[in-house]
């Protein structure tokens, strides 16, 4: 028979086994609970990151930011209205040569550097007639300063009226084609009706008609776009401007053509960077004087490189900033701009 000491040892050993089993069971339960909790957190995170029914897709957000950056590619729904304000600055510099000629001999020659600073405040309004047809207008207020002549002016620029039409229904993954046409008025200060030694112009002085075809395609996260256009300037008659001892009566500016292309890259859901280049070619301008003589200028070509950044600051507001510089002598040295949409949803029309 076992004595009491042996029984005590057996009971102690059994108790240790029970405690060990209980501890192992507790640890196993705690580990399984932790793993289950981690799996649950992972599932919740995946569910939170997954796109919900009411969320906007990356493509849609990219298109919205892109449309705010490249307004020529956007159309409004039927009855839709949009109003935006933009401020643009451009700088152009050149050198003018003044010659004094006596008996076919140059007596005096002087080179005068000149630069022009131009600030343009403009309001652009668009209205959707149909889902694929949008009317638009632009009203500019221009301020210019010329350092060479020490002249400045602030006055209205040329108001333009236009229409944009999307002939084919939008199909995801397919290119979008837009056709646009606009007429530019001569509401600004005309360069052919002022004393150019005492006042600066703010407009072209002529009516012109422009037509453009633009194409864009979404290749998430990139939108590629391009356009081709032509502008015809109507002949301006009935002038009476003194120029070098002669009277200017008629101006014929000819026709110009433009080609542009680039891409817009989505830096994030609410930010897009656009890079584009534009090339233009224009036929020469002919000036007709009262004495029957005329003077024609050579054809010109200009090119520019442009960068635009569109940033969404709230669900309905995208601010666009732009910077560009000229690639040819006839283009502006550089230009900067910013545009901001104005909420007109509270207005009744």
State how far the Cα of 125 lies from the Cα of 159, in Å rounded to an integer: 12
Q: What is the dihedral of CA 213, 219, 223, 228, to 10 degrees?
A: -20
pLDDT, one tens digit per residue, over 258-269 is 999 999 988 887
pLDDT for the residue 267: 86
Pick the CATH number of 58-342 from 3.30.360.10, 2.40.128.130, 3.40.50.300, 3.30.70.1710: 2.40.128.130
Q: What are the DSSP E strand ranges found in 157-254?
A: 160-165, 176-184, 208-219, 222-233, 241-243, 246-252
C-alpha to C-alpha distance for 70 and 66, rounded to whole angstroms: 6
* Averaged pLDDT, 51-63: 48
Q: What pLDDT, on the 0 to 100 scale, is given for residue 52?
A: 43
SS3 state at 309: strand
The residue ranges of every structural domain in the chain are 7-48, 58-342
332 pLDDT more than 80:
yes
**What's the pLDDT tens digit per position in 274-302?**
999 999 999 999 999 998 899 888 888 99
Q: Say yes or no to pLDDT of 323 above 90.
A: yes
**Mean pLDDT of all residues in the chain?**
80
- pTM of the predicted model as reported, rounded to 2 decimal places: 0.73
Distance, in Å, from the CA atom of 31 to the CA atom of 26, rounded to the nearest integer, reads 9
DSSP bridge partners of 295 = 287
The mean pLDDT value for 317-327 works out to 90
How far apart, in whole angstroms, are the C-alpha atoms of residue 274 and residue 225?
10
What is the band of 243 on the pLDDT scale with cuts at 50, 70, 90? confident
pLDDT at 19: 55
Helix-then-strand count for the chain, H and E: 2, 17
pLDDT at residue 63 is higher than 90: no
Chain centroid to CA 270: how far? 15
Residue whose entry in the numeric block shows the structure tokens 């545009």:
339
pLDDT value of residue 31: 55
Under DSSP, is residue 260 helix (H, G, I), strand (E, B) or coil? strand
pLDDT given for residue 314 in this prediction: 82
pLDDT in tens, 117-166: 999 999 999 999 998 999 999 999 999 999 888 899 999 999 999 999 99
**3-class SS at 304?**
strand
pLDDT tens for each residue of 19-47: 566 555 555 655 555 545 444 443 443 44
Give the pLDDT band of residue 72 (cuts 50, 70, 90). low
Write the pLDDT tens digit of every residue in 155-206. Answer: 999 999 999 999 988 787 889 999 999 999 999 999 999 988 889 999 999 9
Give the per-residue pLDDT at 42: 39
The DSSP symbol for 89 reads: E
Is residue 208 pLDDT above 70, yes or no? yes
DSSP for residue 298? P
- With contact defined as beta carbons under 8 Å apart, do 292 and 255 qualify? no
Other CB atoms within a 10 A radius of the CB of residue 259 amount to 14
**Per residue in 75-130, pLDDT tens?**
788 888 999 999 999 998 875 555 444 455 544 444 456 789 999 999 999 999 99
């Amino acid at each position: 028979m076992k004595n009491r000491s042996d029984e005590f040892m057996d009971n102690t050993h059994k108790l240790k086994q029970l405690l060990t089993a209980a501890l192992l069971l507790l640890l196993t339960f705690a580990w399984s609970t932790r793993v289950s909790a981690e799996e649950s957190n992972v599932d919740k995170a995946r569910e939170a990151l997954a796109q919900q029914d009411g969320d906007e897709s990356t493509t849609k957000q990219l298109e919205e930011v892109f449309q705010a950056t490249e307004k020529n590619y956007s159309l409004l729904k039927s009855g839709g209205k949009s109003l935006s304000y933009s401020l643009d600055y451009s700088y152009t510099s050149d050198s003018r040569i003044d010659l004094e000629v006596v008996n076919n001999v140059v007596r005096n020659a002087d080179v005068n550097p000149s630069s022009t600073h131009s600030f343009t405040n403009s309001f652009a309004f668009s209205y959707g007639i149909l889902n694929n047809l949008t009317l638009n207008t632009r009203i500019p207020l221009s301020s210019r300063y010329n350092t060479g002549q020490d002249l400045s002016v602030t006055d209205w620029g040329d108001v333009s009226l236009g229409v944009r039409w999307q002939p084919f229904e939008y199909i995801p993954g397919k290119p979008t084609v837009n056709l646009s046409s606009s007429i530019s008025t001569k509401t600004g200060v005309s360069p052919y009706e002022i004393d150019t030694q005492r006042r600066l112009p703010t407009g072209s002085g002529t009516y012109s008609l422009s037509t453009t075809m633009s194409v864009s395609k979404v290749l998430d996260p990139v939108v590629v776009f391009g356009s081709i256009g032509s502008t015809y300037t109507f002949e301006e008659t009935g002038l009476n401007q003194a120029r070098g001892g002669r009277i200017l009566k008629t101006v014929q500016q000819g026709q110009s053509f433009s080609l542009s292309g680039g891409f817009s890259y989505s830096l994030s859901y609410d930010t897009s960077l656009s890079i584009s280049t534009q090339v233009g070619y224009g036929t020469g301008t002919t000036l007709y004087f009262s004495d029957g003589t005329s003077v024609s200028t050579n054809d010109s070509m200009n090119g520019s490189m442009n960068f635009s950044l569109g940033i969404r600051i709230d669900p309905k507001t995208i601010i666009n900033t732009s910077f560009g510089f000229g690639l040819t002598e006839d283009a502006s040295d550089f230009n900067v701009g910013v545009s901001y949409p104005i909420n007109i949803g509270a207005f009744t029309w």
